[in-house]
Amino acid sequence: MINSGKTEVLIPRCLCEIENVDNLNVDDEGFASVFVAWEKGIVSELKPINIKNKKPKKILFPRFVETHSHLDKSFSFGEFPNFKSNYHEALSVNLEEHKTRSKIKVLERAEKSLNLALKNGYRAIRSHVDTYESQDNNIWDELFKLQKKYSSKLKLQYVALAPLEFWDTPHGEELAKIFSKKKGILGGVLVPPFKNRAKIKYLLSKTLLLADKYKLEIDLHIDESTIDPGAGIKVLLETIDRLNIKVPITCSHLSSILSLNNNEILNLGSKIAEKDIKVIALPLTNFWLLNRKEKSTSLNRPVAPIKQLQKSLVDVSIGSDNVQDPWYPFGNYDPFYLMSLAMPMLQLNPWERLTLSSIFLSPSRLLNLTWDGVVKKGCPVNFVLLDAGNWADIFSTNLKREVLINGELYS
């Protein structure tokens, strides 16, 4: 039967829901030994393997969700390198790239990225797209065509990453109208130092009100900095309170608040949770760019304090951010590359529920996907199967993987 099959696998216990757990074997690394069968691309059976001392030789994960990427500039490092490898040079080179940017270049980069993401095991991606007044407006028509082209295999969301000033212009209003029909997301940058705090509050208010008017989400690059810790998020929280509106908000980066003391982080986390603001930690680009010193190695690498934020009940996801562009010269749209670097960087244990939640479950909630990523009877067969028996195999070897999309092997 098409889209049907069965296998014996290991699944992280916190990522599977099994009705009969009496005979469920869970090893010391948190992997449950299960039999899974599917018909027509849907899981029809999920049960413990009852044979003693028998451990499957494959590990199953749900296909991954990328919460923060930049498809429009991926693989541009060769043409626009940043050999200084710092934030200010990245921004400067990025602006140079804009001068040569064309619709064709953006679409080529995006398609290359999406094909790699599918091959490597992603099922959904949120991408920020640089947006400015002099941009070719036809790019959005083509990007939404691309979204439709890949929709049967991968859900693609767009964030218009624009200066906050853009959302206070007729161009910004026009794009917001288009996004209200296409389910796009308003984006912006809120990174100190703020030379004119009153102007920042005004522009942020305009952006929030525009999102509220057209029932849109907002995803901000915020506090991606080593100075004035938490300045951006504090302004955002103040502005939300003053306007008294409820707009779905994601804060990407939020890295500088790591410089606050622990009590300040927890108190700020409680306010973020109260407003139902979601957070995306982006360790790869932050560790690469921020607080870089030319002649010394800095151990102070700001990144969103995941554990404290989770303790404050903030929904935190981990994302990749840039791939082979002026902001980060490495990566290949591979979720296992992200996991194998981010977990040691952030001292996150892969066998713990909150760690895997930030990789699988929180991203599914963030993108508001119909499937939460928990493997259970009735869920879609959107899986990645690895030839592996433990976490060391996943992070230490040349992975052999199979990607199943709606029950069929993707190649």
Q: Token pair for residue 134?
A: 């002099």
Contact between 235 and 205 (Cβ < 8 Å): no
Residue 267: its H or E element? helix 262-274
**210 three-state secondary structure:** helix
Q: CA 109, CA 266: separation in Å to the nearest integer?
A: 40
How far CA 349 is from CA of 346, 358, 388, 401, 406, in Å, comes to 9, 12, 18, 22, 30
Enclosing H/E stretch for 110: helix 103-120
- Tens of pLDDT along 89-138? 999 999 999 999 999 999 999 999 999 999 999 999 999 999 998 887 78
Q: Tell me: pLDDT of 282 over 90.
A: yes
Identify the pLDDT of residue 1.
Answer: 58
C-alpha–C-alpha distance, residues 405 and 384, integer Å? 9
Per-residue pLDDT, averaged over 265-284, amounts to 98
**pLDDT 10s digits, 298-311:** 888 899 999 999 99
3-class DSSP state for residue 38?
strand
CB 132 within 8 A of CB 99: no
**For residue 10, what are the β-bridge partners?**
33, 59
Alpha-carbon distance of 331 to 328, in angstroms, equals: 8
Q: Mean pLDDT in the chain?
A: 95
- Asked if residue 26 lies in contact with residue 34, where contact means CB atoms within 8 angstroms, the answer is no
Judge residue 237's burial from the number of C-beta atoms within 10 Å of its C-beta, 0-12 exposed, 13-18 middle, 19 or more buried: middle
pLDDT tops 80 at residue 2: no
Alpha carbon dihedral 319, 406, 35, 374, in 10-degree steps, equals 40
Q: What percent of the chain has pLDDT over 90?
A: 91
Taking the whole predicted model, whether its pTM rises above 0.75 is answered as yes
pLDDT at 174: 95
Measured CA to CA, the distance from residue 192 to residue 178 in angstroms comes to 30
23 falls in which pLDDT band (50, 70, 90)? Answer: confident
How far apart are alpha carbons 224 and 232 in whole angstroms?
A: 9
pLDDT for 136:
73
**CA-based radius of gyration for the chain:** 22
